[in-house]
Structure 1
Amino acid sequence: MAARARRDELVALLQDYAGESGLLGQVFAGRHRLHPTDLHALLAIMRADSAGDPLTPGVLSARLGLSTGATTALVDRLERAGHVRRGRESADRRRITLRQSGDAAGIGAAFFGPLGSRMDALLADFDDAELDAVARFLVAMTDLVREHRAAMGAGSG
C-alpha cells in the first residue's frame, strides 16, 4: 500500500476509535450525571492515584487544558458526587492532592469491566512484537497530538 494511502487509512482508523471512545464516554458520563470533561478528569485522577502519584488541581488543570477556575468547579462537582476527595498528605499542607473515592473505582469497574474482559480476549490474538509496535505507535501519536494541542494554545479553557 502506498505511504499516503496507509497514512489516510490510519488517520481514518484513529478517528473511528476516538469517535467510538468519545461516544462510550458520553454514555458513562450520562449514566452518572457527569459532564464529559468530568469523566476525563476522573480517569486522570484514578490513573495517577493508582500509580501512587496523585494529581494536584494545577496538574489536572494543565492536563485537561482548563483554567484554574474551571478545574476548581470540576473538582467540586466530582467531590460532591462522591467520586473524588481532596487530601493534604504532603509535608506542605498547602499542597492539595486529588484521590479517587471508594465508589469511583467500583462504578468504573461495573461499566468498563466487560470492555476490559473483551479487550483481554482481543489482545490474546496479537503476539508480543505486534503489541510492542501498537504501543509504540499509540505513545507516539498521543505525544504528537498533545504537542500539537499545546502549540495551538489549548489550555486556557
Structure 2
Amino acid sequence: MDDPGPGLRTVHQLRALTVELDLLAASFAQRHGLHPTDLRALIALLDAARAEVPATPGLLGRELGINSAGTTAVLDRLERLGHVRRARDPHDRRRVLLEVTERAVALGQGFFGPLIGEAVALVDGLSAVERAAVEGFLSTMREIVARHADGPHRPAG
C-alpha cells in the first residue's frame, strides 16, 4: 500500500485523537450522570470564567447552539446535580450570571487533571519554535473546522 503522505497521516492522527478524547469525555459524563451537552456546557462556562467573560444563559445557549428552552433544561440539570449556580448580576438584577461550583471543578480536576498535567508537561518540553508550530496548527485547524461546521452538511437544529 502506498504511503498516504505526511498531511494525510497527520489528519488521521488528529481524527484518532479526537475520537479518544470524545470517548474519555463520554466516560466522564456517564460516570457522573451527565448528558454530553451538560459536559459541553460546563466546559463553556469554565472557558468564559478563564476569559473573564460574564457567563449568562444567553451566552451559554449561543456556545452550545441551542435555544433558550434547551439552555434552561441543561442549567436545571446542572444545578440539580450541584455543578452550576445561578446568581443575579449585582449591577443589573434582571441578568442572571452562571458559575461552575467548586464541587464540579474538583470533579473535573480529579478525572482530567492527570491528563492535563501530562499534556502541559509535553508542551512545556517543546522548544519555543515547536510550541509556536503546534499552536499555529491547532489554531488554523479550529478555523478550518469552524468554516466547515457552518457548511451545507451541518444538521438542521
Matched positions, count = 154
Deviations 1:24-49 (A, max 9, x none): 00111011110111111101101212
- Correspondence list, 1:1-157, <5 A: 5-152=5-152, 157=157
| 4+ aligned runs moved over 3 Å, structure 1 | 151-157
Deviations 1:100-148 (A, max 9, x none): 1121111111111111221133224311111111111111111221232
- Percent of matched pairs sharing the same residue: 42
Q: How high is the TM-score relative to the length of structure 2?
A: 0.87
Q: How high is the TM-score relative to the length of structure 1?
A: 0.87
Structure 1 or 2: larger strand share? 2
Structure 1, unpaired ranges of 5+: none
RMSD between superposed Cα atoms in Å: 2.0
Deviations 1:5-34 (A, max 9, x none): 333122211111110110000111011110
Structure 2, unpaired ranges of 5+: none
**2:14 partner amino acid:** L
Shifted more, 110-119 versus 85-94: the winner is 85-94
The answer to which structure, 1 or 2, has the higher relative contact order (CA under 8 A, 6+ apart) is 1
- Displacement of 1:149: 1.4
**1:147 partner amino acid:** R
